[in-house]
Chains A and B, each alone.
Chain A
């Protein structure tokens, strides 16, 4: 079927969301990484001695570990790392105004239907009165309940004992090369503490944090959910994360204490020159529930496998993930569930969409230790291929040392068929609308778990992407 002319003007082949501003950072380390730079970072943040020691130790681990030989193609990464500025401290005061934001970016925000307040933050204009109002009323609620929701730096400063007790306990520096790198140079991220028994109805959203540093290259987040607490944390959104950086390596540590329920949602859309290598893991204690809802769009290569370590009896872990691989992008994503205790249960539902020359891989691990009696796990991964050139692979690793465990795995691959497209077009939709509707239906089981405004954004984003798939 012939192409759709109207899509050409959107420049979907370029990273249409990217824009650059002239703001000068107040401090920038030189390119590359060594001990001096790590010391500078720690000094700039006015950190206690123990943290500097941790950072330096992590640097040595990073240097000693070889580049991973699995997952995506990292052969050109070292070159990128050599050119990376490992620490850039942005200006304290954002001096840009909304009027300086390019029209095409405003238009993209408009088309994505992003709320006004959020747009301004995304555009680096800083928090706006509207969102401050919202933030303040929420903040009062949080404070009255003893909830801590700070930047990671303030967490370390203001709650040193709590911080030190948990930092690096879920993902030690030695876990993998990039966890080590993050542990050496981390900057930015959130520190969250929910006291026992506290239930938060409104999600904690990272963009409500006023004066936040923009999501850093080496963001570090530490979350402690107290016994019996309930909360939902949302990082990022479907709007594009603008960054000139070509490397992002975050570490997210979550501790879900006994009988607590915690959900962590990230939907991120990176510029397509980006290596996105993230370690995110939750320790889930007795009777507790952890849920990862993870959406990955954009980037050159994403390697990201949210994990649940089910440490206590009856712990439950859910991992829902959506990956969207456009032209020349590789999404190597999935999830890991580790059953350590009896009667633990888990579920992984992974959906990927590959368009053009995009490639998506599901990579997952289900491990059941001896003694985790009656553990149950179910994995479902579904891939949707938009074009003949799109690719998908599945790498499900299953290691079971316990006889009474039940583990299920189901994988499907579907292609958007001519019959499907014709059916929809014969009802009056053009090809792009038809494609977008099929994709929306495909991710619906996950999208329906998102807060409404995120689901709406995700749908619009997919419509924009699909407009470019035709022709």
Chain B
């Protein structure tokens, strides 16, 4: 595999605008094409903030450091530009867009990727959508429902995975996609990610999670432990298992010390 990272986070610090306290306190992270990285950490460690800063959420303000995507300065880009550059974030809490069907939503997202004046061919789009839904073993009627409106937790995750399948990102950031999921919903997410990964082995994944259990289904190449706004340990899948056994306590102590 190519050794140049697709994503390089260097010394990243970030805060909520107006609050004089960094949540991220110097994060370093490099993900190479095709790698699956997991970031684990207790509540308030900043792991979800990292995901949002990568995607460009306006509620967070980077104060120092850099994020490069294939050598491009991600922090200089708008969220839509980041998406078009290949970043996809699966939301922890996807929002409702009443009156807009999933199909319409995805068509608009794909249309936005075309040059000005180019029109997305509707038949091509239908074909793509059907093919993607088939790949994920989804009922085609699902695409006619309004985005997340009245969806169960599991349906919302299913929708995130479908969007990811249609938009085909080169970097998928999963922001605690597994929290609050029952085992069936967890399988939808992990099967979806694994399917897309098999289809495109070059796709990189950054998996933000509080729990080890999703890592039984999506096997990471690297596991990072994040505490107090910093990555305090990185290693193989065994790190997650150790965490599961011992908890975050010792890292807290290390961090404080």
**Interface of A with B (CB < 8 Å)?**
1-2, 417-420, 422-431, 433-434, 437-438, 440-445
Contacts and interface: CB of A to CB of B under 8 A. Distances in A.
B80 A443 contact: no
Given A427-B167, A433-B108, A437-B108, A417 B80 contact: no
A407 B9 CA distance: 59
Contacts of B110: 428
A346 to B, nearest CB: 23
B58 A427 contact: no
Contacts of A418: 58-59
Contacts of B59: 418
26 contacts: A418-B58, A418-B59, A422-B55, A422-B57, A424-B105, A424-B109, A425-B56, A426-B55, A426-B80, A426-B89, A427-B83, A427-B88, A427-B105, A427-B109, A427-B167, A428-B113, A428-B167, A429-B112, A430-B78, A431-B80, A434-B80, A437-B100, A440-B99, A441-B99, A444-B98, A445-B99
Contacts of A438: 97, 100
Interface string B81-120: 0111000110100110111100011101110110000000
B163 interface: yes
Contact of B97 (A422, A424, A430): A424
A441 B58 contact: no
Range for the number of chain B residues in contact with chain A: 20 to 34
A66 to B, nearest CB: 42
Contacts of B97: 420, 423-424, 437-438, 441
Contact of B112 (A2, A428, A444): A428
Contacts of B100: 437-438, 440-441, 444
A156 B99 CA distance: 45
Contacts of B146: 441
B42 interface: no
A1 B98 contact: no
Given A418-B59, A425-B78, A442 B99 contact: yes
B79 interface: yes
A440 B98 CA distance: 9
B95 A420 contact: yes
A417 B88 CA distance: 20
B108 A442 contact: no
A424 B89 CA distance: 11
Contacts of A430: 78, 80, 112
Interface in B147-206: 147, 163, 167
A421 B167 CA distance: 18
Contacts of A420: 95, 97
Nearest to A419: B95
Contacts of A417: 95
A419 B58 CA distance: 9
B79 A422 contact: yes
Nearest to A442: B99
Contacts of A445: 99
A428 B110 CA distance: 8
Nearest to A444: B99
A422 B105 contact: no
Contact of B105 (A1, A426, A437): A437
A316 B111 CA distance: 42
Nearest to A420: B95
Contacts of B105: 424, 427, 437
- The 5 lowest CB-CB distance pairs between A and B, nearest first, are A441-B99, A444-B99, A441-B100, A428-B83, A425-B79
Given A418-B58, A433-B108, A428 B80 contact: yes
Contacts of A428: 80, 83-84, 109-110, 112-113, 167
Contacts of A434: 80
A429 B167 CA distance: 12
A433 to B, nearest CB: 6
Nearest to B97: A441
A2 B78 CA distance: 8
A445 B78 CA distance: 32
A440 to B, nearest CB: 7
Nearest to A6: B116
A423 B94 contact: yes
Nearest to A414: B98
Contacts of B106: 427
A445 B98 CA distance: 10
B56 A426 contact: yes
Nearest to B108: A437
A443 B98 CA distance: 9
Contact of A433 (B55, B99, B112): B112
Nearest to A428: B83
Given A427-B83, A441-B146, A1 B58 contact: yes
A415 to B, nearest CB: 13
Nearest to A434: B80
A444 B147 CA distance: 13
Nearest to B173: A426
Nearest to B116: A6
